[in-house]
Homo-oligomer: A and B are copies of this chain.
Amino acid sequence: MKNIGFIGLGVMGSPMAGHISNAGYSLKVFNRTRKKSELWSDEYSGEVTLSPAELAEGCDMVFLCVGNNQDVEEIVLGKNGVLEGLKAGGIIVDHTTTSSVLARTMSVNSSEKGISFIDAPVSGGEIGAKEGTLTIMAGGDEEAFKSSLEVINLYSKFCKRMGGSGSGQLTKMVNQICIAGLVQGLAEGMHFSEKAGLDTKEVIEVISKGAAQSWQMENRWETMLSDFYEHGFAVDWMRKDLGFVLEEATTNGSNLEVTALVDTFYEEIQQKGGGRWDTSSLFRRLRS
C-alpha cells in the first residue's frame, strides 16, 4: 500500500485526511499551526510531522489543501518544502484553489525533480469533505492523475481530469463565474419579491419547479430568508477565487461584466464586516 502525506488540516483537509487514514493507508500529516495536527490525531491515526520536507520523505504521494497561492508556493518550493523531501517519481496533488499560473509554475518546478504536480481544486464544501462526496476537477499529467485516483476516490464521488496543468483551476473558475451571476439573480429576485409584498417562501415553491431552478435556490432560499449566513462558502474565499478569475479573464480576453460587478458587491460586504458570511449574503446586501 502506498505511503501518503497530507498537508493542511483545516475545515476541508481534516476530514479528507481522515478518509485516507480510515482506509488504512500509512499516513503522515502536517499543518502549519501544530495545534490542528494534534486535534486531528486525537481522532485519526497518522504520524504528525514538523515540516513538509519531513512529511514528504518516503511518501509516494503528497496531498495539499491549504489557503492560497503563497501557501502552496512556500510548502512546495520553500525551505523544508515538499520538493526537498519527495523522491523522483512522486506525485503532488494540490486541492487548494489557486491561479492557473501558480499551478503551471508548480508543475514545471516539480517536473525538474521528476515529480508530477496535479492541480485538483474541489467543490462540495465541508459537508462534501466529511461525507466523501466532493467533486474534483484536475489538471496535469494523465498517468500521475490516474495513480492518484485510488486516494482521491476516498473523498470524491466525481473526479475528472480536464487537461494539462492548470486546467483543474480553470474549471473551478468557470464554476465560480456561474455561481456569481446565479446567486445575484436569486438575491435580486427574492429582494423584489419582498418589496412587492409577496410571500417569498411560496414564490420559491412555485418558481423552483421551472426554468429559474438552481442548486442555490433549493439549498439557500431558506437560510437567506432567515438572514442566516454563518455557514457555506465565505465571501472572503469567493473574492479570492474571483480575483483569479478576473486576472485570468484579462489574460485570455473574456468579457465578464456581471462577474466583475458582483465582485464589487462582495467587496462591499467584506467592508461591512461580512467576509466570513456565505456567498448568498448578496441578499443581505440588498435587504439592508
- Measured as residues with beta carbon below 8 angstroms from the partner, the interface class of chain A is 35 or more
Compute how far the CA of A107 lies from the CA of B243 in the bound complex, rounded to whole angstroms. Answer: 51
Return the contact of A175 from the options B123, B174, B191, B212 (Cβ within 8 A). Answer: B212
Residues of B within 8 A of A205 (CB): 160
Whether B195 and A254, one on each chain, are in contact in the complex, defined by CB atoms closer than 8 angstroms, is yes
Which B residue's beta carbon lies closest to that of A169? B196
Query: Is A171 a contact of B207 with CB atoms below 8 Å?
Result: yes
Q: Which of B158, B160, B178, B192 contacts A254 (CB 8 A)?
A: B192
Q: Does A39 sit within 8 A of B, measured CB to CB?
A: no
Determine if A182 is an interface residue (Cβ-Cβ < 8 Å). Answer: yes
Interchain CA distance A135-B213 in the complex, whole Å = 13
- Chain A residues 187 to 230 lying within 8 A of chain B, measured CB to CB, are 188-193, 195-199, 202-203, 205-207, 209-217, 219
Q: A254-B188, A254-B192 are in contact. Are A174 and B198 (CB under 8 A)?
A: yes
A207: contacting residue among B174, B196, B217, CB under 8 A: B174
Contact between B258 and A188, CB atoms less than 8 A apart: yes
Which parts of A249-272 form the interface with B (CB within 8 Å)?
A: 249, 252-259, 261-262, 265
- Contact residues in B for A233 (Cβ distance below 8 Å): 211
- Interface residues as binary, A173-185 with B (CB distance below 8 Å gives 1, 0 otherwise): 1110111111011
Chain B residue with Cβ nearest A170: B196
A189 to chain B, nearest CB (A): 4
Q: Which of A123, A163, A188, A203 has the most CB of B within 10 A?
A: A188
Q: Which residues 49-83 of A have a CB within 8 angstroms of B?
A: none
Q: Are B254 and A135 neighbours in the complex by a CB distance under 8 Å?
A: no
A181 and B178 within 8 A (CB): no
A10 within 8 A of B: no
Given A185-B181, A215-B211, A262-B258, residue A249 in contact with residue B160 (CB < 8 A): no
Q: A123–B181 contact, CB under 8 A?
A: no
Q: Is the CB of A254 within 8 A of B191?
A: yes
B177 touches A192 (CB 8 A): yes
Cβ of A144 within 8 Å of any chain B Cβ, yes or no, is no
Q: With both chains docked as a complex, state the minimum distance between the C-beta of A288 and any C-beta of chain B, in angstroms.
A: 11
Asked whether A286 is an interface residue with its Cβ less than 8 Å from the other chain, the reply is yes
| A–B pairs, 17, beta carbons within 8 Å | A137-B207, A171-B198, A173-B192, A175-B189, A175-B210, A177-B189, A179-B185, A179-B212, A182-B182, A185-B185, A188-B255, A191-B255, A211-B215, A211-B219, A213-B215, A254-B286, A258-B261
